Each structure stands twice: as structure tokens, then as C-alpha cells.
Amino acid sequence: MSSNDIKTMDKVRSGRDVNVELLRILACIMVIVAHVRPLLISDDGQIMDTALLCQAFAAPAVSIFFMISGFFAPKNPNFIKTWKRCVTGILIPALVLVIVTGFLNGYLSGDMGFFESIAHTDIRRLAKNTFEGIIGFDAAKFGDYNAHLWYIFSYILVMLFLPIMCVLAQHADRRVLWFFTILINYRLLIVDIVALYPFPVVVYLPQFLPPEIGVFILGYMIYTEGSLYRNHRLTKPLCAALFAAALIAMFLGQHKLFEAMIPEAEAPSALNFESPYFLSWTCGLAILASAFAVMFILSLHINSPRISRLISFLGGLTFPIYLIHFPILARLMNIGLSTEIYPRFSVSGVGVLIYTALMTVVLFLISAVFSFVIREIFRKIVGIIKGKKFS
């Protein structure tokens, strides 16, 4: 079978790269794992190793999404079209979610019924907070059930740098792009080392572009250099091994940080509500893990048309799943579902693993069903409007 035949089989009928859709699903699942998040530290100060390992697996999620955005960086100056898609396909749906959750705040918290929550909405306050969140790039203004929307503002930041990326992609030597990528990620890796082993002297760390841009450019480079590795027989085992090594390094790094922090903490369990450094997407190791995961998935050859269609279908739902899974999870937690289930599994490491997997699958499927229904209703409405317009 020729490489062209393989490439053709790896495309779904719509022309979308099925491997990219699989990457979207993987990153979406990682995000849900991160938000399901069993407790990392027990009340008596014990580190829950299985929960920590699950969170290490979830850490590369955001970097993978940024890399996917970089796959399709335009090589021409028509970035206005991309900006329009960002507004209509990303920003507006996110703002719709903000408004909907604003009206359903009492329902999601479990304090009110569905219609009671709508009736008691402070519309003026909702409008004020939404406006302040937009102009301040501050997702905290959007309420407790939209904290995950910080990613939207980071994505918009990437889009603001798109004109520079267009120029670099069209005119710059590829070595220039690799230079930018390596320099940005070098800084993050040095920060990783310093977090564990502070240097006795000050080391200058260049910072001329946000890390989002570095990951975006890295995604562009990995995707456009696909011919060098996608069909190589060593790519999959090597990337799988390096991905596992990066996750283990993140696990051990965060474990060591916790060991140093727990004795100094008044309440060790309070560390569960902080952002662990080595479980953050800005950790250099997480970005390396993302790159290895991306190369591994892009190197897969998915030959079954049925599986390709399923992946394409679910991949098309990942953004709405990302949007709505957080308030759905909040509702499940506030009505006591997760608090009823979790104690039954938390007595062992295997139980924590089963709980995380179970909650992730349930939340993904519920969010997928809601996303599909909402998308189909929206399409019907658009179809009716267009039909009336041209009738």
C-alpha cells in the first residue's frame, strides 16, 4: 500500500483529517479528567498517587488544543476570515453559555428550580459582569460555572498574533520558526527545573512571546512536517515511550513539590484547591508530552470507514462538549451525585482510577448528547431562516 493510499484512507469523506479529530477527542477527554479531579491530598496530608497520575495524564490537554489551532495557521494574509470564524464559532457560543448559565445559576447550584432560577435572575448584574469579563479578558467575571472559559481568551490572544504568524509562515525560513518555538519552550523547561532545584545564580529567561504562541507555532511545525514521521515505523513506539516518560516526570515533579509543601501547610487538604505547577499546561514537560501525543496520534492509520465516521462525528462535538461539560459537572456535584459516589471508590488507588474513568465517560456522553441536540436545533433554526429569506 502506497503512502498516498494510506493518506487517502486516513481522511474522512468530508475531507477532514480523522487523526486531527481523534486528537480533539483525546484533548477533550483530558479536560474532563482534569475537572472531574479526585482529591490529590487527603485530610491527613497523604498524597493520593493514583489521582495525581490521572491529573498528570490530563495536563497536556490545553497544549494539544493550541497545537491543533496551529495545524491550520493560514499561509496567506487573509487572516480576517479566520478572525470572523473565531468570533462566530468560538466567542459567540461562549457568550451564549455565559448568559444561559447566568439565568440558570440558581438551578445549577441546586438552590432553585429551573424556572425559579430564570425568574430570579439579576439581568443588570449579569450584563455588567459579562461586559467586564469581555473587556478585561477575565473569565472569573462570568461566574462560578464558566471558570473554564479562560481558554477562550487565551485562544483569542493567539488569534491576535495571527498576522505575525501569517508573515512568518509565508516568508520566513523554517529555521526561524523552530528558533521561536525552541526559545519559548526552553524558557518553560528551565522554569520546570528551577521549581524543583533553584539555581544558585540568576539565569536570564527570554520572554518575548506568550507561551500560547510558542505552542501554536509548534503545532504548525509538527503538522506541516508530517511527511518526515507519520509513516515512519519507529514514530509510534518512540512517541508513546516519550509521552509516558514525560507524564512520569510530571508525576514525580509534582509529588516532590507536594512533599515540600505539605509540612508547611496549616491544612494539607487546602492544597487541593491550588493549581499544581507540574499539572499545568504551561509546564514545559506538559508541552513536551503534548508534542509526543500529537505525533503519535497523527501517525496512526485508521483504516475503518465506520470508525472514521464515528471519530469525525464526535470530533465535531468536542468544542460544545468543552463549553457545557463544566456547568453540567457543577450541577451533578451540587445535587450530591458525585459526593455520593466518590467515597465508595476513594478507599483504594484502583477505586480512584475507576471513579475518574466512570465520571469522565458519563460526563462526556451526557455533554455529547446535549451538544448534538443543541447543534441540530440551531441548524434547523438557521435552515428555516434561510428558507424564508430565499422563498
Q: Each residue of 73-110: pLDDT tens digit?
A: 766 666 788 888 889 889 999 999 999 999 999 999 88
Residue 244, pLDDT > 80, answer yes
Place of cell 455588567: 128
Instruction: Check residue 341 and give its pLDDT.
Output: 83
Q: Each residue of 355-375: pLDDT tens digit?
A: 999 999 999 999 999 999 998
The whole-model pTM stands at 0.88
Q: Select from 158, 148, 184, 208 the least CA-distant residue to 284.
A: 184
Least confident of 90-104, 241-255, 333-347: 333-347
Instruction: Check residue 390 and give its pLDDT.
Output: 55
Q: Select from 217, 219, 150, 156 the least CA-distant residue to 184.
A: 217
Instruction: Check residue 76 and give its pLDDT.
Output: 62
Instruction: Check residue 130 and give its pLDDT.
Output: 94
* Angle at alpha carbon of residue 350, lines to 348 and 353, rounded to 5°: 115
DSSP 13: T
| Averaged pLDDT, 160-169 | 79
Instruction: Check residue 39 and give its pLDDT.
Output: 84
Confidence grade of residue 318 (pLDDT, cut at 50, 70, 90) = very high
Instruction: Check residue 161 and give its pLDDT.
Output: 83
Q: What is d(CA 273, CA 270) in angstroms, rounded to the nearest whole number?
A: 6
Place of cell 539565569: 203
**Mean pLDDT for the chain?**
86
Q: What is d(CA 83, CA 158) in angstroms, rounded to the nearest whole number?
A: 11
